[in-house]
Structure 1
C-alpha cells in the first residue's frame, strides 16, 4: 500500500480506506495500528456513534437512530453520512501535520450503503484524488478495502471476551455474524470485482495478525 502526494504538487492525494469484517475479526485493533503507521485518521463508526448517542440522547436525530437500533435495523447511509463526512473533513483540515487519509472501521455493512456512498457529492469539498492539470478527479472512492478473514469460532471467542456492554451475548453474536454473511459479504464481493479489495487472514494472535497485515499490504499492488 502506497500513500503519496501527487508528484506534480498540483493536488493533494487523500485516501479513503474501508475495513470490513465479521464481529470479533479485530477491526478496531488492526485499524488503530494501520492508522498510526500510515498517518491516517482512524474512525470507528460504532464507537463514534455510541459516543455521539451518549451526548445527544434527548435529541430527535438520536431518537430516530435509537429506534432503528432497538429494532435491529441497519442504519442507512443517510443516517451515517453526517458522521462520516465530518470525520473526512476533520482529517483533511486538521490543524497539525496533514493526514494522508481516513480509515473507516465498520462501514460499509450492506449494499444499500455501498450504492449510496458512490453518489456522495463529497468530491466538491474534499481533494480526494489528483486529476489532470490540478483538477480534482471524480473517481469513486474508496481507494482500498480491507476484508478481515476470521473463522467463526475464533470470532465468537474474541467477541465474547471483549463484551463491550450487557447486550453483548452469544445470541447477539450469532445474529451479527449471520448479518455479516448475508449483507456484508456481497459488499466485499463487489469491491473484489472492482479490484480494490485485499483479504487479510486474522486468525492468529494480535502480533501475528499485525505481521500478516503488514506483509499482505506490502505485497499488494493496490
Structure 2
C-alpha cells in the first residue's frame, strides 16, 4: 500500500499563521512583509490540505477496488526440461548395456522384454510406462502435457522422456552391488533427435531389437488389449495416429541404427513364444551365449 502523506501538526500551523515575535536576537519585523508571508502561507496550507485529502481519498478508493491478478511472464513450453550440459555420457558402455527395443504399437515389445527379464536378468524400462507413471504422480508439472500427447498419439518432448529414463537407470545402478546394469529400453527412441541426445548424454546403445509386424495385426492386438488395459490411447483413432507417427518418425531411427550395424530385425507376427525363441537366438549370435 502506498505511504500516506504526514499530517501537519497544530503547532506548525499556528506558527505559520502567527506573526513572528521580535527579540533581541531576531531581525526587525516588517509589517508589510509579514502580511505577504501570512497570505502566502495560508494559500500554501490550503493547497496542501486539499491535496492531502485528495490523496487519502484516492488511497481509500484503491483499497476498495478488487485486486487484479498479476500477469506472469510466459512460461517455457510445458515439459521442456533444460538440456543436460554434459560433455560425456552419464554411464560408460563397459559398465552399462543398453538395448533399444523398437517396433510399432502392438508389435509385442513389452511381452518380449518381460521374457528377457525373467530368463536373463535384464532391467526393462518402458518409456511409455514411465511417462504414464509420471502423468499420474501427484504434483507432476508434466502430467497434463504427457496426458495430452499420449491421447493424441504424439511424441512427448524428449527432455522429459530422457530425464525419466536416466533417473530410473541411476536408481537401478545405485542399488546394484557392482554398480553396473543391463537395460532393455522399450519404445524409445522414437525420433532421431531422441536417439542422438540419449547417446550423447546418457549412454550409447549396444544393440537395437526391431520387432517388425504388419499394421493390421498390430491394430487387432491393441484393440483386444484395450478391453482390459484401461489405457486412453488403446482406441481406434489413437492407434491410427500412433501408426502414422511410427512410420514417419521412428522408422528413420531404425534405418539410422541399421547403417551402424546395430539392428536385429525380428518377425513379430508369430506367437509370443516363437518370437522369443528367435530373439534369444539373435542375441546369442550378437552378444554371446552369456548375454
Same structural fold, with TM-score higher than 0.5 when normalized by the shorter chain: yes
- For residue 219 of structure 1, report the CA deviation from its aligned partner: 2.9
- Aligned residue pairs: how many? 193
Q: Give the deviation of 1:77 after TM superposition.
A: 2.0
Q: Would the aligned equivalents of 1:38 and 1:100 in 2 still touch at CA under 8 Å? A: no
Any conservation in 1 of the 2:151–2:232 contact (CA below 8 Å)? no
Structure 1 contact 40–99 (Cα < 8 Å) conserved: no
1:39–1:99: 8 Å Cα contact kept in structure 2? no
1:13 corresponds in structure 2 to: 95
Q: Whose RCO is larger (CA < 8 A, sep 6+)?
A: 1
Deviation at 1:161? 0.8
Match of 1:40 among 122, 137, 140: 122
Please say if 1:118 is aligned against 2:163: no
User: More deviation in 198-207 or 71-80?
Assistant: 71-80
**Runs of 5+ consecutive residues of structure 1 not aligned to the other structure:** 1-10, 123-139
CA contact (8 A) 2:102 2:109 kept: yes
Structure 2 unaligned blocks of 5 or more: 1-92
**Cα deviation per residue 1:46-67 (whole Å; 9 max; x = unaligned)?**
11221222123x4323234335
Find 2:213's aligned residue among 139, 142, 150: 150
Q: Secondary structure at the match of 2:155?
A: coil
After superposition, the Cα gap between the structure-2 partners of 1:60 and 1:25, relative to the gap in structure 1 and judged at 3 Å, is: same
* Misfit runs of 4+, over 6 Å: none
RMSD over aligned CA atoms reads 2.3
C-alpha distance in structure 1 between counterparts of 2:118 and 2:179, whole Å? 13
Q: Which residue of 2 aligns with 1:202?
A: 268
Greater radius of gyration (CA): 2
1:221–1:15 Cα change, 3 Å:
closer
